[in-house]
Structure 1
Amino acid sequence: MTPETKALEQKGISLKISDKDFEQLRDYIYNVCGIYFHSTKKYFLESRLSRRLEATGCRSHSDYYQYLKSGTTGGVELRKLLDEVTTNETCFFRNPPQLTALENKFLPEIVAQKGKIGFKKLRIWSAGSSSGEEAYTMAMILLEKRSTLLKDWIIEIVGTDINETVIAQAKLGVYNSYSVRNTPDYYLKKYFKEETPGKFHLAPEVKRLANFSQLNLYDDNKMLFMKSFDFIFCANVLIYFDTASKSKVVQHFYNNLQPYGYFFVGQSESLHGVNDKFKTVHFPGGFTYNK
């Protein structure tokens, strides 16, 4: 028993979750945001819930469930719970083959297509953006094209996540050594300033290109407003959904993508058995999807 666990039990807080309470809370989370916890994840959910029980003063998981559903505090508490149960492992320049394909193949292709009709605006969505590393990586790559390929273009990068804590971190734009571990020296020197050892502050011109906001991908009404994107990135987010949730969310991505646009997922993810409307497009070291 850890000191933290012992302290909680001394306060009369029951940490062990019953099968009934686990299913009740799991189903509630699933219905709200589509994230599904298999029974093998019971211990994970139990450990994350223990923090919320202590913070709210609830003595049991059934008490906490009622607290969560209450009209007065439920909305605020739900956001705090979702912050606890969503993990956010990411870094800058995370998927080099994907970024190389974007820069050398797909970006010039879309710029050429949109340029023909004189519409010089590029929209990119980082869905499940976590603390902003993916969106800002794209911003740096595009800034390098400002004087050539993207001269006189309007660039909009949108980052969304269900976790409000990481959204706040993204807006701050300050990162540790671990976050920048894969960043090429050229970008690190040009777009970061190490104000104190191990604290890297992102350049203002990079921050200006990306806007971040809280978004539940399972919220049909809000997803309807995420329109007309040339590129959508959703890496290592779909792994938290079951097949039904994935199908619902991916259909929204399909609807929100331009007819010529591209949809990127994580290296180990696939839309097989989820959505048959997308076509697979291969590139060296990976693949993407388009309509």
Structure 2
Amino acid sequence: MVIPPANSGNFGADPLSGADLEEICAIIYQRSGMVFGETKRYYIERRVTDLISQRKAQSARNYISILRGDLRETELLINSFTVNETYFYREQHQLACLSNSILPDVIKAKGPGDRIRIWSMPCSSGEEPYSIAIWLLENWPLVDAYNIEITGSDIDTAILRQAVDGYYGQRSLSKIPKDILDRYFEPEKDQQRRLIGDLRESVTFAKGNIVDRPSLAALGRFDVIFCRNLLIYFDEAAREIAARNIHELLYPRGYICLGHTESMSRISETFEPVRFPDAIVYREAGDK
């Protein structure tokens, strides 16, 4: 999508007053937990000005009134602010940790054929949950001995539709070895590839907001959660809500993998760090 400059249309060089910007940031925070403010004014105005133009709103105040009364419009606003920078096999050391250490520990409490549930949140356009599926097929010898369920969730509804479709360009696929690329991705036009149908069907996608517990109610509980590079966009209050929701969605002694700059120890005492050879992850603390 082409974003017009902030001074386009009939809204002048500064379409958002201080009060307008504050109210829009409050809506984004209430709906997503993401924190924006005056220091990100240019970033905010670029996106909001484009939405104002698309809706043919008469002013920023009129657009805010639309936001307050239209959940679909708020969803479009949130979609425009999400960051979807990702690629296959990102932070591969955590995938190695999953197959080498986490799952061998998880199955100690399971029998052959039992379910193992893995959740990727946020999943963006699907690279992360699909990477988990491919990695386990290629690297975990017991992959066929258990009923593995992988779920991907994101607050961005547009990006979820892309995940379901499963089309990817060279940037997303650049870290995948060629033999795996040829095995799991079919060539398409414009140098794109599409994930094979069996793999697309192996992952379930659902909208979810990590700071809104009701939106997660239908997901159930998980043995392993990947929640990487999301909490860095939250303030302390939103991080605490997210940690509480993650805790409720984990089975006892379940695992969570965060981004390399994130630490659950500074947010919640309900998790304990675990140092495996491949990565440091966090485990639901349970009864010690």
TM score, norm. by length of structure 2: 0.91
Q: What is the deviation of 1:186? A: 2.9
Q: Which residue of 1 aligns with 2:75?
A: 79
Q: Which residue of 2 aligns with 1:61?
A: 60
Q: What is the deviation of 1:67? A: 1.2
2:174 to 171, 181, 202: 181
Q: Which residue of 2 aligns with 1:238?
A: 231
Q: What is the deviation of 1:278? A: 0.4
SS, match of residue 5 in structure 1: coil
Matched, 1:247 2:240: yes
Matched, 1:5 2:1: no
Distance in 2 separating the partners of 1:6 and 1:44 = 9
Distance in 1 separating the partners of 2:262 and 2:80 = 23
- Cα 1:197/1:110, change in 2 over 3 Å: same
Q: Which residue of 2 aligns with 1:104?
A: 100
Matched, 1:223 2:216: yes
1:170 to 163, 169, 184: 163
1:136 to 127, 130, 143: 130
Distance in 2 separating the partners of 1:206 and 1:5 = 40
AA in 2 matched with 1:61: A
Unaligned runs of 5+ in 1: none
Q: Which residue of 2 aligns with 1:39?
A: 38
Distance in 2 separating the partners of 1:225 and 1:151 = 26
Q: What is the deviation of 1:150? A: 2.8
Distance in 2 separating the partners of 1:144 and 1:273 = 35
Identity %: 32
1:149 to 130, 142, 158: 142
- Cα 1:13/1:284, change in 2 over 3 Å: same
SS, match of residue 280 in structure 1: strand
How many residues get paired? 282
Q: What is the deviation of 1:267? A: 1.2
Q: CA RMSD in A?
A: 2.1
Distance in 2 separating the partners of 1:43 and 1:3 = 12
Unaligned runs of 5+ in 2: none
SS, match of residue 262 in structure 1: strand
SS, match of residue 275 in structure 2: strand
- Cα 1:5/1:96, change in 2 over 3 Å: closer
Tell whether the 8 Å contact from 2:79 to 2:158 is kept in structure 1 after alignment: yes
Tell whether the 8 Å contact from 1:164 to 1:214 is kept in structure 2 after alignment: yes
- Cα 1:267/1:7, change in 2 over 3 Å: closer
Q: What is the deviation of 1:109? A: 2.0
AA in 2 matched with 1:129: C
Matched, 1:95 2:91: yes
AA in 2 matched with 1:276: E
Q: What is the deviation of 1:163? A: 0.4
